[in-house]
Amino acid sequence: MGVDSKTSYQQPVDKLLTCGMNGWITPDKWPDYRKLGIGPEHIPDLIRMATDEELNEANEQNTEVWAPMHAWRALGQLRAVEAIEPLLGLFDRLENDDWVHDELPDVFAKIGPAALPALTEYVADLSHAVSSQISAITSIEKIGKRWPDVKSECLALLQERLERFEENVSEVHGFLVLAYVKLEAGDSPLFERAFDEGYVDPMVIEECRNAYFFLVPSTDTDILEDGNTTSISFSSSTADELLSR
């Protein structure tokens, strides 16, 4: 049985209720929802669908459960600035939804630099769930990669958050470092300090993102048996090579 929300959406937005799952695909492979006749005039309904609690919590056997995913993809393609705040709210509301945390950073990247003020405010608020903080950090990184004109602004935002060593959990620090490197920013004294003072779990990147950040010790670095280091230097070229695999 479908959810009651099915009757509350008008054409052409209602077509998203029957699209179903099309798998984990990169944003460049997302369907072009404009071909369904969906345009800027449908943004309010798309926001409502993307945040529809009934749809988001529907049984996974129901086709309609995938409608919010299609709605937020469409909002990204339309660069709907009106959707920024409502979509940000999904990070905490749907904390355990992998689709939300995997795809919304790409949606914000498509919307563009207009999302940065809200994301800046979001990452500054440490009351959000750790997974939500990480997704917001990833969103900033992806905006910086997609929109080179604001890359320096994105790096500044990441650095500002990275400087809050005592307040951040190690997982957040790990993703801040990863985001910084993925923006090809090179080395930073903050990295050495963060690792040297034990604020970052070096395994977090491999465990959480199936990627690697390669630490290359300098000639005077001592590697201890427990894996800790007394001094760390970074090789951005080595990191870039591993991250590109």
The pLDDT tens digits of the residues spanning 157-216 come to 998 888 887 787 878 888 888 888 788 766 667 766 766 666 666 565 454 344 334 433
pLDDT tens-digit readout, 127-139: 999 999 999 999 9
Which of 131-134's residues contact partners 24+ apart within 8 Å by CB, and which partners? Answer: 131/91, 131/95, 131/101, 132/91, 132/92, 132/95, 132/101, 133/172, 134/101, 134/171, 134/172, 134/175, 134/208
Decide if 22 contacts 40 (C-beta within 8 A). Answer: no
Low-confidence ranges of the chain (pLDDT < 70): 1-7, 185-188, 191-192, 194-245
| Cα gap 65→62, rounded to integer Å | 6
What's residue 242's pLDDT? Answer: 35
- Residue 145 has a pLDDT of 95
How far is 70 from 81, CA to CA, in rounded Å?
A: 17
- Residue 223 has phi, psi (to 5 degrees) of -100, 120
Give the C-alpha separation, 121 to 226, whole Å: 38
What φ, ψ does residue 216 adopt, rounded to 5°? -110, 110
> Considering the entire predicted model, what is its pTM?
0.80
N-to-C CA span, the chain: 44
**The Cα angle at residue 105 between residues 102 and 106, in degrees rounded to 5:** 90
Overall size of the chain counted in residues: 245
